[in-house]
Structure 1
Amino acid sequence: MNYNFWHYSNSPAFCCCFRTFAQNCRNIEHLNLNGCTKITDSTCYSLSRFCSKLKHLDLTSCVAITNSSLKGLSEGCRNLEHLNLSWCDQITKDGIEALVKGCSGLKALFLRGCTQLEDEALKHIQNHCHELAILNLQSCTQISDEGIVKICRGCHRLQSLCVSGCCNLTDASLTALGLNCPRLKILEAARCSQLTDAGFTLLARNCHELEKMDLEECVLITDSTLIQLSIHCPKLQALSLSHCELITDDGILHLSNSTCGHERLQVLELDNCLLITDVTLEHLENCHNLERIELYDCQQVTRAGIKRIRAHRPHVKVHAYFAPVTPPPSVGGSGQRLCRCCIIL
């Protein structure tokens, strides 16, 4: 049985009726409470008491719930496999510890925006959730390499990891992933600006199942990372390199000539890659399954280059922006002036 309460998220009667709902729907397995900002810990107490078959629970943005909710779920909903606690920012390591002791069968755990979580919380996950395949830690800014290393050593079945915005991470986290998580398919590491080619080299050489990587603002990586991905990751389908300003046409050449380039690559994001030129678009003509290219603020890419790839690959969506040229100042200096980002219609 599946229920979605999104449309009733702020109804005054919602909290009052939920206990009755839980009492009368004891076979429920999937429950979506995303955005139900008025619910409190009492909701989870009701689920714990009456809904022992619950497997999939979405509590995204249920900002009023606390660690007590997780304790209740642990005691009564031991069949939970998928739990989304994104933006429940009152949750701490104590709540995670209580949760995983009873819900050790978790396969997917979303903790985006749980900003109070520290490495100690990941230690508890490591000790109990050996079936975990999906973990999202986006914007958990207190997490460091220590916590990621713990996860990797305890969760060898990990297939998807999001650490975007976890700005303390270094190559030590990539090394731990490479050595412990060979099934990894998705890595989102946007804004992890300390990661380097060395870490991605080890990762690529050990994680051959990678399909999607978000490396936006990993500003230290160079073409060397693309060379390693092109050699060792033949299943790569989507890659974001936006704001990776050291990437050049040569790196894209290696990617486009690889197995993943010829057969798998569908999405390539290169926004603000300032060294990219029309030559990159010529290389990408070899990518037969390419569906979308992002080229915002690639200042050396021209309309002519885009026109050429559209002629050769008409099904490819090319998203680009060309800032208008700043006009010269008027003779008297009193005329209206425009910056590169503005235009008068």
Structure 2
Amino acid sequence: MNLRRVENISKRCGGFLRQLSLRGCLSVGDASMKTFAQNCRNIEVLNLNGCTKITDSTCLSLSKFCSKLKHLDLTSCVSVTNHSLKALSDGCRMLEMLNLSWCDQITRDGIEALARGCNGLRALFLRGCTQLDDGALRHLQKHCPELTTINIQSCTQMTDDGMVSLCRGCHKLQILCMILEAARCSHNCHELEKMDLEECILLTDNTLVQLSIHCPRLQALSLSHCELITDDGIRALSSSACGQERLTVVELDNCPLITDVTLEHLKSCHRLERIELYDCQQVTRAGIKRIRAHLPEIKVHAYFAPVTPPPSMHGGGPRLCRCCIIL
């Protein structure tokens, strides 16, 4: 998506637009976002995941014009620095969720600025922000009492002291995602309820067999980017006690061997509330329709790449590609 198309969206929707995803739009840059921010001042949810041309200038524009912003995803916007967090702190004080995963220029000073201004922050994702240390957690502990979710995976400079400090100050914390060292652990985790195995690319169906046997309380499981997982593994999981009595969330994004057969197996998971199936190329709309008919309350999140349109025969103006979704 280019500048002109962002301008068209912002002018057409203007103050009515509340949510927008530009995820993966590699050509979107600061000029586009400045125009957008000026025209769409009531935006509340904005996804810029993977918009790698974005810099601090975009956050300055959001700070100046978009004071109602609540959810902002800047995943992999690697040019974003502490200046962005200072700007958001000044102008976007209603911010509740911020994803800074892989924004590796961020330091504790940026987190301090953010925490001082956005003390209603509830969810913060800092995966891969390798410069962060315990000082960042102490700032969150001091200024963000509403924090319920934080992800600090791959933040290797953080220690036990930082964890203790965070937990002492953030009494509403429910989800803490970090590196878990389980070497030489001699006890089975029978009480395990949530398991995130995203991007564990060497995992096979045998892992799911073992989870189905030894983890009867499992409720949520992420297997996204586990490219060796097949329908057989999901069959073992869905036919187990946890599958039929407990399982509510299964994330299978980018699992290329998964097919509609997996959805047939998951029909027996009566408590299932959500399935993630982005970029599962062998899953079809028909398969999704069948499981929705069987489990009418379920939320299935999937993406089907649009057919590339033929070149215009009449030389029409630029069109908005369907992958640039207005939520």
TM-score band by shorter chain is: 0.5 to 0.7
Output aligned runs, 1:324-343, within 5 Å. Answer: none
Tell me if structure 2 keeps the 8 A contact 1:92–1:116.
yes
Match for 2:5: what amino acid?
A: C
**TM-score scaled by structure 1?**
0.57
Report deviation, 1:15.
1.6
Question: How far apart are the structure 2 equivalents of 1:221 and 1:113?
Answer: 30
CA contact (8 A) 1:266 1:289 kept: no
Does 1:100 find its partner at 2:56?
Answer: no
Per-residue deviation at 1:99?
A: 1.6
Shift in CA distance, 170/45, structure 1 to aligned 2, threshold 3 Å = same
Cα 1:131–1:220 shift into 2, 3 Å: farther
Contact 1:264 1:289 in 2 (8 A): no
SS at match of 2:35: helix
Distance 1:94 1:268, change over 3 A: closer
Q: 2 CA distance for matches of 1:134 and 1:99? A: 15
State the superposition RMSD in angstroms.
Answer: 3.6
Matched to 1:87, the amino acid is: S
Runs of 4+ in 1 over 3 A off after TM superposition: 219-227, 239-242, 261-269, 285-293
Within-5 A mapping of 1:115-154: 115-154=104-143
Report how many residues are paired: 226
1:237 to 178, 188, 193: 193
- CA drift at 1:65: 1.3
* Cα distance change of structure 1 residues 268 and 69 upon mapping to structure 2, 3 Å threshold: closer
2:73 to 69, 84, 87: 84
Q: Which has the greater radius of gyration? A: 1
**Distance in 2 (alpha carbons) for counterparts of 1:51 and 1:167:** 38
Q: CA deviation at 1:154?
A: 1.2
**Aligned residue type for 1:113:** W
Secondary structure of 1:239 counterpart: strand
Q: Judging changes above 3 Å, is the alpha-carbon distance between structure 1 residues 119 and 286 closer, same or farther for their aligned structure 2 residues?
A: same
Q: 2:10 matched to which residue of 1?
A: 22
Unpaired stretches in structure 1, ≥5 consecutive residues: 1-8, 193-214, 231-235, 243-251, 272-284, 294-313, 316-345
CA separation in 2, counterparts of 1:57 and 1:85? 9
Normalized against structure 2, the TM-score is what?
A: 0.60
1:123 and 1:150 in contact (8 A); partners too = yes
Mapped partners of 2:11, 2:195: distance in 1: 46
**Distance (Å, rounded) in 2 between the aligned partners of 1:225 and 1:122:** 37
Unaligned runs of 5+ in 2: 201-209, 227-239, 251-267, 270-327
1:46 aligns to 2:49 (yes or no): no
User: Partner of 1:87: helix, strand, or coil?
Assistant: coil
Percent identical: 24
Q: Is the CA contact (8 Å cut-off) linking 1:115 and 1:141 kept in structure 2?
A: yes
> What is the CA–CA distance in structure 1 between the aligned matches of 2:61 and 2:76, rounded to whole Å?
19
Deviation (angstroms), 1:63:
0.8
Structure-2 change in CA distance of 1:108 and 1:223 (3 Å): farther
**DSSP-derived class of the 1:57 partner:** strand
**Partner Cα distance (2:184, 2:89) in 1:** 36
Other structure's SS at 1:135 match: strand
Q: Which has the higher contact order (CA 8 A, sep 6+)?
A: 2
Q: Where does residue 298 of structure 1 map in the other structure?
A: none
Give the 3 Å change call, closer, same or farther, for CA 80–225 of structure 1 in structure 2.
farther
AA in 2 matched with 1:29: R
C-alpha separation in 1, matches of 2:114 and 2:7:
30
1:67 corresponds, among 51, 56, 61, to 56
Alpha-carbon distance change, 286 to 103 in structure 1, aligned in 2, over 3 angstroms:
same
Q: Name the counterpart of 1:164.
A: 153
Residues in 2 aligned to 1:262 and 1:20: alpha-carbon distance in whole angstroms: 51
